[in-house]
Structure 1
Amino acid sequence: MTLPVLHTCAGSRGLRATWAAEEAGVDLDLRVLPFPPRHKAPEYLEINPLGTVPLLEDGETRMTESCAIAHYLAVKGGADALIVGPDEVDYGAYLDFTYHADATLTFPQTVFMRFAIFEKQKGWSEAGEAYATWFEKRLVKVEERLQGREFLCANRFTVADICIGYALILAEKVGLDDRLPASLRNYREQLTAREAYRRAVAREEAGSAS
């Protein structure tokens, strides 16, 4: 049987997909590219003209959105506990937080990274600071949701936690950790203690070193 192929870079948004696969018990053909792939692996543009990661190829299915891929792999793996179905009270919240993760949280983080890290020498620190503040203000939705809850939806760990969790993990990596309240840092610590998360990180690091 041909395995789904996941093209990614270690620690990128593709970690959501690698992590979901580990949680769901889905075996992947994991192909870790150098960062940024559009410059360091130009042949990748032949299969993904966007030059972005992740890219999932599963038969005729091709997907480039990390949160959608995470949900897809959970469903394909039959990991019903990782998703929230339409017959459950938190179905709407599950969809909302899964989409909120990338569209509202990771987006300003990536712009911050461009201005404050990758192109810092161009003197765009003010723009970087503005996007850091944007990110911080949009954390309030997650913070309020987790008051009195261990996980975001349905009283269990789901793909929504993977997707939101990655944004919090990225915050620590790129210098935005001071923007997180203590409650979200504690939530992140709980998520990153999961064995499936640790396996996902190890797989990506091993692929990056090979």
Structure 2
Amino acid sequence: MTLPVLYHCPDARSLRCLWAAEEAGIDIDLRVLKFPPRAFEPDYRAVNPLMTVPGWVEDGRLMTESAAICERIAEGTSLALGRDEDEYWEWRNWLHRSDATLTFPLAIMIRYTRVEPEERRVAQAVADYKAFFGGRARSIEAALSDGREWLVGGRFTVADIVIGYAAFLATTLGADDVLGDATKAWLERCVAREGFRRARDRQKG
């Protein structure tokens, strides 16, 4: 049987998918690329014309959106909520919020602190988008304000993975000071999981 292939850059959005696969116990063929692929991995264009990670290839089909890939990985496992569960739509909303609302401002910060050459880096853009992220991250704090351990469903799900990745990414950018106390405690629970640790160890090659 041919394994699903995950094209991944260390600690990039594709870490969501690697983490989800570890949590779900799904065996994958991991291909670690240099970041950003468009600069260092010209052969990757034949796999993913967008030249972004993740790239998930399964049964001849390509998926490129990290939350969608996590949803596919979670299907049929306890990482997913079923339509018959009370917080199903909240769960789905978190999956979409993870990139569209939370990771987008962090991507701008990455561009103007790591990707652009020194002369093109814009400190004001970094500060503005850090504040932008902080405002949007309040939704995590609000969801956890009732003392719940995980975001939805009374258990750890891929919602915690996709949102947890955004919060983790914020810590790598020095933006964790905009996270609330409940969010920080929840993030500690997320990154303490064996699945997260295995994923980060595995990406080292």
TM-score when normalising by structure 1: 0.93
| Aligned match of 2:83 | 86
| Aligned match of 2:45 | 45
Distance 2:26 2:182 in 1: 31
| Aligned match of 1:182 | 181
| Aligned match of 1:163 | 162
Distance 1:44 1:73 in 2: 23
The answer to whether the 8 A contact 2:138-2:179 is kept is no
Identical-residue share of aligned pairs (%)? 45
| Structure 2 segments unaligned to the other structure (5+ residues) | none
Distance 2:171 2:29 in 1: 28
| Aligned match of 1:103 | 100
Shift of 1:62: 1.2
Q: SS where residue 35 of structure 2 aligns? A: coil
Letter in 2 for 1:176: A
Letter in 1 for 2:198: R
Letter in 2 for 1:163: V
Distance 2:11 2:121 in 1: 27
CA deviations over 1:28-80 (Å, ceiling 9, x no partner)? 000000111111111101111110000000013210000110110121xx31x
The answer to whether the 8 A contact 2:44-2:51 is kept is yes
Shift of 1:11: 0.8
CA deviations over 1:97-142 (Å, ceiling 9, x no partner)? 1111111000000012212443353252112211111100001111
Shift of 1:190: 0.5
Distance 2:121 2:168 in 1: 26
Distance 1:45 1:143 in 2: 39
Letter in 2 for 1:113: I
Q: Alignment partner for residue 125 of structure 1, among 110, 123, 137?
A: 123
Letter in 1 for 2:128: A
Distance 1:39 1:57 in 2: 21
Distance 2:49 2:94 in 1: 28
Instruction: Tell me the matched-pair count.
Output: 203
| Structure 1 segments unaligned to the other structure (5+ residues) | none
The answer to whether the 8 A contact 2:22-2:199 is kept is yes
Q: SS where residue 195 of structure 2 aligns? A: helix
The answer to whether the 8 A contact 2:48-2:62 is kept is no
CA gap 1:123/1:32 in 2 versus in 1, 3 angstroms: closer
| Aligned match of 2:17 | 17
| Aligned match of 2:133 | 135
Q: SS where residue 57 of structure 1 aligns? A: strand
Q: SS where residue 49 of structure 1 aligns? A: coil
Shift of 1:181: 1.8
When the two chains are superposed, the root-mean-square deviation of aligned CA atoms in Å is 1.1
TM-score when normalising by structure 2: 0.95
